[in-house]
Homo-oligomer: A and B are copies of this chain.
Amino acid sequence: MVRTSKKKKPVSITVSLVEDIDDIREGLADLINGYDEFRCIGSHRTGAEALREIPREKPDVVLMDINLPDLSGIECVRRLKAEYPDLQIMMLTMYEDSEQVFQALAAGASGYLVKRTPPGQLIEALREVHQGGSPMSMQIARMVVDSFHHMGPARDETANLTPREEEILSHLAKGLRYKEIADTLFISVETVRSHLRRIYEKLHVRSRTEAVVKYLRK
């Protein structure tokens, strides 16, 4: 919408809140409005209300709680993001359960703070998320980073495959049949089969499915 910003506030960042506990919500609004740089233009206590009002408010940033009375904050993020992919949403929640964190990020949240974050850091995080960053509490960031580490330790048996064999395997993993692989690579079905035999040997598997599973797990 047309935001006829006046001269005195040329660059204030607009924020909308979604939080069911009145005290917290009002505290946040006061905090945010205490900075010239920010303006709290929305305050919602339910997910449904947020879904209805936020499209009208078009805030720069949404501060979203996870535990809402109706739908979860995660679902709320998912729907808002589906409609407005450029909307920046920061989760602000009590818990740091790993499942919730990953689901919230997968739903499209751009930041994730725990509620005990000091006010100053929260403001700094709002600034950051608006600038294209992804502020996270220390523990959250570590969880996220660790998730990359932990998904590697299973030794990669596909490492011994030749480039050609990997190519064949990648097509196999797309569900193509021998004939189809042969056609896309301009080789004969027999060649595909020879490669597959060696691939199975190297991966210690005896069926295409087992091979694909190993391939997708790396």
Binding site for B on A (CB under 8 A): 81, 102, 105-111, 128, 131-136, 138-139, 141-142, 144-146, 148-149, 151-152, 172-175, 177, 205, 207-210, 212-213, 216
Contact = CB atoms under 8 A, between A and B. Distances in A.
A133 B128 contact: no
Contact of A152 (B107, B145, B148): B107
Given A144-B145, A149-B108, A175 B134 contact: no
A136 B137 CA distance: 11
26 contacts: A102-B148, A105-B149, A106-B148, A106-B149, A106-B151, A108-B149, A109-B145, A110-B142, A128-B138, A132-B138, A132-B139, A133-B138, A133-B139, A134-B141, A134-B142, A134-B144, A136-B145, A144-B144, A172-B209, A173-B209, A175-B210, A175-B213, A177-B207, A209-B209, A213-B216, A216-B216
Contact of A141 (B102, B106, B135): B135
Contacts of A172: 209
Contacts of A213: 173-175, 212, 216
Contacts of A209: 172-173, 175, 208-209, 212
Contacts of A138: 128, 131-134
A106 B152 contact: yes
B175 A205 contact: yes
Given A131-B138, A175-B209, 5 more contacts: A109-B145, A128-B138, A141-B141, A144-B145, A175-B207
Nearest to A172: B209
Contacts of A105: 145, 148-149
A81 B152 CA distance: 12
A215 to B, nearest CB: 10
